[in-house]
Amino acid sequence: MVPIRSSNLEARIWFEFGEEEEEKKKKEEEEEEEKEQKKWTGGGNKMEWMRRFHTIAYLQQIWWLEVDGNLEFEFPSGTYSLYFRLQLGRPTKRLSRRVCNLDKIHGWDIKPVRFQFSMSNGQHAMSQCYLNEPGKWVNYHVGDFVVEKPNIATKIKFSMTQIDCTHTKGGLCVDSVLILPKAKG
């Protein structure tokens, strides 16, 4: 987990551990993460992977959110959907069980988050929504795009923003951006 801190005080507290203690703690966390990555959660016919990568970004408290990225890839022909994978709440472990701490979630219900992407071929999409599903990983749909010419590199720029500075926001985990073939039907 990558804590993103917004004050010097929090940063000082974060680094107060002795190096030996910090290394031991980090090794234990890495071992736990490795074990957790091998586990699935859910029951019956519904199984869900907890998170996609070893490291995620946790936003403890911020005024301004701006996440952006880009990629260039040769897609096969077809229609695709782009998603941001997010979770409200901080994943923790309690009594050997993975739980989600919801204590620090605030500010996501006041103004919507804006998701958007644009492509080198002129396609673009934008969506807005309030983040209001605490405790679970959610794929927030940004939009769809069509690839007509396969095996030609397509550039995609994507972003997620909430830049209203009238209130703080916190308790958000950012896992990844997903591009998936659009489901038919």
| Predicted confidence (pLDDT) at residue 144 exceeds the cutoff of 50 | yes
pLDDT tens for 172-184 read 999 999 999 997 7
Give strand pairing partners of 5. none
Q: Which residue has the higher pLDDT, 174 or 34?
A: 174
| Predicted confidence (pLDDT) at residue 40 exceeds the cutoff of 50 | no
Q: Which residue has the higher pLDDT, 42 or 122?
A: 122
- Residue 94's pLDDT is what? 81
Average pLDDT, integer, range 141-149: 95
- Residue 39's pLDDT is what? 42
Backbone angles phi, psi at 110, to 5 degrees: -90, -45
pLDDT-derived band of residue 57, with 50, 70 and 90 as boundaries? confident
In order of their start, the domains of the chain are 55-181 (2.60.120)
Average pLDDT over all residues of the chain: 78
- Residue 23's pLDDT is what? 59
| Predicted confidence (pLDDT) at residue 95 exceeds the cutoff of 70 | yes
| Predicted confidence (pLDDT) at residue 33 exceeds the cutoff of 70 | no
pLDDT tens for 107-134 read 999 999 999 999 999 999 999 999 999 9
**DSSP collapsed to 3 states, the chain:** CEEECCCHHHHHHHCCCCHHHHHHHHHHHHHHHHHHHCCCEEECCEEECCCCCCCCEEECCECCEEEEEEEEEECCCEEEEEEEEEEECEEEEECCEEEEECCCCECCCCCCEEEEEEECCCCEEEEEECCCCECCEEEEEEEEEEECCCCCEEEEEEEEEECCCCCCEECEEEEEEEEEECCCC
Q: Could you tell me the two tokens for 48?
A: 């869900």
- Residue 158's pLDDT is what? 96
Q: Which residue has the higher pLDDT, 132 or 4?
A: 132
